Chain A
Amino acid sequence: MGIIEAKKLIFEYIRRDEDGNVEGITRAVDEVDLDIRQGDFVAILGHNGSGKSTLAKHLNAILYPTEGTVWVDGKDTMDEKYLWEIRQSAGMVFQNPDNQIIGQVVEEDVGFGPENMGVPTKEIWERVEESLKAVGMYKYRKHSPNKLSGGQKQRVSIAGVIAMHPKCIILDEPTAMLDPNGRKEVIRAVRALNQVENITIVLITHYMEEIIHADKAFVMDKGHVAMQGTPREIFSRVEELKELRLDVPQVTLLAYELKKSGIALPDGILTCEELVQALRGVGKWQ
């Protein structure tokens, strides 16, 4: 069994009018099956309202299934006695870093999670140090979070999660509010955690170029999984993605446009290097 598994997961919420009468039922997640293995880097794409954040909130028991089951590290999220273990195994990072940072000093903020878990003081400091080092923020440990850039704050949020020694981190649009450099810093930190520490990553994003290194991508639409595959497979389906209000990285779109103009190129080109390679020997370029 994988680190996160979902079987026929359904989540419905009840819409009520001003007097509290039931107006209708909305199915936000519709029969989703997931099987995520320890160490995977999984991306979830989907337009606003497609159900991806609702799905993500099931992966560390913030929401519970209406029907179906979710297991985190083998534990059913409906079983209350596992709640804290599940939240520790699967940590969550949200969009706005300012809503997640509570400490007056960076290192205090990062120590908050393990302290709540009852980790002995000496070990808390060890964890704070290793977590800040893992995201490249150790030299800012004595700083006030207020003075950091968006990308730095978001990396502190991630360190706060790592300090709880999770097996899996779920990131819900962690780069939506960041400048280009901040986005790069966060994605680099996330990839390093995945590759060096073998932490499972579930990344939700609207920036297509951030997921090209993922092992697998799921595309959500109307609460269910509309497409799944490697980023290369997904990004080969340019027209379908556009129908789903999504996009492809600029390099992929450029290759797709060149192909439409008659140049023989493979589908799903993901990086600049791949495009340069594929263009060699075309026409006058000898």
Chain B
Amino acid sequence: MAIILDHVSHIYEEGTAMEVAALRDVNLVIPDGQFIGLIGHTGSGKSTLVQHLNGLMKPTSGNIYYNGEDINEDGFDRKNLRSKVGLVFQYPEHQLFEIDVFKDVCFGPKNMGLTEKEVQLRAYGALKQVGLEDEYFYQSPFDLSGGQKRRVAIAGVLAMKPEVLILDEPTAGLDPKGRDEILDQIAMLRKETGITVVLVSHSMEDVAKYVDRIIVMNQGSVMYDDEPRAVFRHYRELEEVGLAAPQVTYIMQELRRQGLEVGTDAITVEEARDEILKAVGRSRKMGGGGIY
């Protein structure tokens, strides 16, 4: 099953002089289990789009289907939808409020009307999924580090057992290791549970490393929707709309321009390394270990 957006538009102050189209005729299919990167400059419509996916915003025209049902139809259970399509906002740690970590994570499932036992099982499971150690469970969430707080906030959404997890810039403000830890954890979670993940990000390097598909938004419309390699081939067009390709893509382009016979499709450091080694006629020494 999937989320389908059919000719979705969202226009503010329609019919007035202040009319602004936040989304224009967006058509997308989000099948189960995909890892999708959603990119676009500030104000391109990314956040508006994700808020349509769980019914927080309604399209001014067009329809959104979740598992075949129109989510904006009268009688559709939108409360249930919000536990199925979990949205983690930017800086989600600002929304932590309980006296300890465990209680905070219990809040979502408790509101779903589950039994006390089920709530606790889910909270425990979710905290394990984000890799938080037991010793932190009964600490105040405010005593944790930035990366840990963010994990607690993500666990709060996972405890509702969503089928789709949407993360709006989950790594903003984290140090490089913290960024990798969170994204590795999400990649692993998706592998283990088959959950669909939509990652909104400003880091092209992160998107290139993790996702299967990139959706590029510009001025409320979908500009590209393809696998990462194909999207980053348009690096010049991406720059024109305030984005970029990963740094390695530029390096490969430059090497090619200067006359080294390399393929220019590399989007991660590993791919670039292997491509350069091939081009200069050296194979990679064995036993060197991975990069990360």
Report the Cα distance A208→B145, complex, angstroms. Answer: 21
Tell whether, in the assembled complex, residue A180 and residue B243 are in contact, meaning their CB atoms are under 8 Å apart. yes
In A176-212, the 8 Å CB interface with B consists of 176-183, 206, 208-209
- Judged by a CB distance under 8 angstroms, whether B172 is at the interface is yes
Binds A, one of B76-84, B108-116, B126-134, B254-262: B254-262
Per-position 1/0 for B199-215, Cβ under 8 A of A: 00010110000000000
Residue of B nearest to A284 (CB): B281
Cβ-defined contact, A149 with B284, below 8 A: no
Residues on the B chain within 8 Å of A48, using CB: 145-147, 173-175, 178
> Are B247 and A209 neighbours in the complex by a CB distance under 8 Å?
yes
Would you call B251 an interface residue if the criterion is a C-beta within 8 Å of the partner chain's C-beta atoms?
A: yes
Let me know if A250 and B205 touch, CB within 8 A: yes
Instruction: Give A279 to B204 CA distance when docked, in angstroms.
Output: 25
CB-CB under 8 A from B205, the residues of chain A are 250
Contacts of B175 in A (CB 8 A): 46-48, 206, 245-246
| Residue B28 at the chain A interface, CB threshold 8 Å | no
Tell me if B1 counts as interface (CB < 8 A to partner A).
no
Contacting residues, chain B, for A208 (C-beta < 8 A): 176
Q: CA A206 – CA B250 in complex, angstroms?
A: 21
B7 contacts the other chain (Cβ, under 8 Å)?
no
Contact with A along B225-268 (1 / 0, CB 8 A): 00000000000000100111011101100110011100000000
B276 touches A284 (CB 8 A): no
Contact of B42 with A by CB under 8 A: yes
Q: Is the CB of B178 within 8 A of A47?
A: yes
A residues in contact with B173, CB < 8 Å: 48, 95, 173, 176-177, 206
Q: How far is the CA of A16 from the CA of B80 in the complex (A)?
A: 41
Q: Is B117 an interface residue (CB 8 A)?
A: no
Q: Which residue of A lies closest to B257 (CB)?
A: A276
Partner of B285, one of A47, A149, A262: A262
Distance, CA A245 to CA B205, complexed state (A): 17
Q: How far is the CB of A275 from chain B (nearest CB, A)?
A: 6
Contacting residues of chain A (140-197) with chain B, CB-CB under 8 angstroms: 149-151, 173, 176-183
Cβ-defined contact, A285 with B259, below 8 A: yes
Binds B, one of A6-14, A64-72, A81-89, A252-260: A252-260
Whether the Cβ atoms of B177 and A242 lie closer than 8 Å is: yes
Pairwise interchain contact A254-B42, C-beta atoms closer than 8 A: no
Q: Which of A95, A183, A206 contacts B176 (CB 8 A)?
A: A206
The answer on a CB contact under 8 Å between B146 and A254 is: no
Contact of B41 among A46, A47, A149, A245 (CB under 8 A): A149
Residue from B202, B254, B269, B277 within 8 A of A272 (CB atoms): B254
B248:A250 contact, CB within 8 angstroms: yes
Is A282 among interface residues, defined by CB-CB distance under 8 A? yes
A95, B94: Cα distance in complex, Å: 15
A-B contact count (CB 8 A): 131
From residue B103, how far is it (CB to closest CB) to chain A in Å? Answer: 16
How many residues of chain A get a CB closer than 8 Å to chain B's CBs? 45
Q: Does B75 contact A (CB under 8 A)?
A: no
A251 interfacial by beta-carbon distance below 8 Å: yes
CA distance A261 to B284 in the complex (A): 5
Known: A242-B177, A250-B248, A251-B251. Is A261-B277 also a contact (CB below 8 A)?
A: yes
**Docked CA distance A275–B291 (Å):** 18
A2 at the B interface (CB under 8 A): no
A118 interfacial by beta-carbon distance below 8 Å: no
The smallest C-beta distance from B152 to any residue of chain A, in angstroms, reads: 15
- Do B204 and A150 have beta carbons less than 8 Å apart? no
B272 within 8 A of A: yes
- Does B31 touch A at the CB level, under 8 Å? no
Chain A residues positioned under 8 Å from B147 (CB to CB): 48
CB-based contact A249/B247 at 8 Å = yes
Q: Is the CB of B242 within 8 A of A176?
A: no
Q: A48-B146, A178-B42, A181-B243 are in contact. List 19 more A-B contacts (CB 8 A).
A: A46-B175, A48-B173, A48-B178, A176-B173, A179-B40, A179-B242, A208-B176, A245-B175, A250-B205, A254-B272, A257-B273, A260-B285, A261-B277, A261-B285, A262-B285, A272-B250, A273-B254, A279-B260, A283-B282
**Chain B: residues with CB nearer than 8 A to chain A?**
40-43, 90, 145-147, 169, 172-179, 202, 204-205, 239, 242-244, 246-248, 250-251, 254-255, 258-260, 269-270, 272-273, 276-277, 279-282, 284-285, 288, 291
- A-B pairs with the 9 shortest C-beta distances? A283-B280, A245-B177, A181-B242, A247-B176, A250-B247, A47-B175, A284-B281, A48-B146, A180-B244
CB pairs A–B below 8 angstroms (14 shown): A48-B146, A48-B147, A48-B178, A179-B243, A183-B202, A206-B176, A242-B177, A251-B248, A254-B251, A254-B269, A257-B273, A261-B273, A263-B277, A272-B250
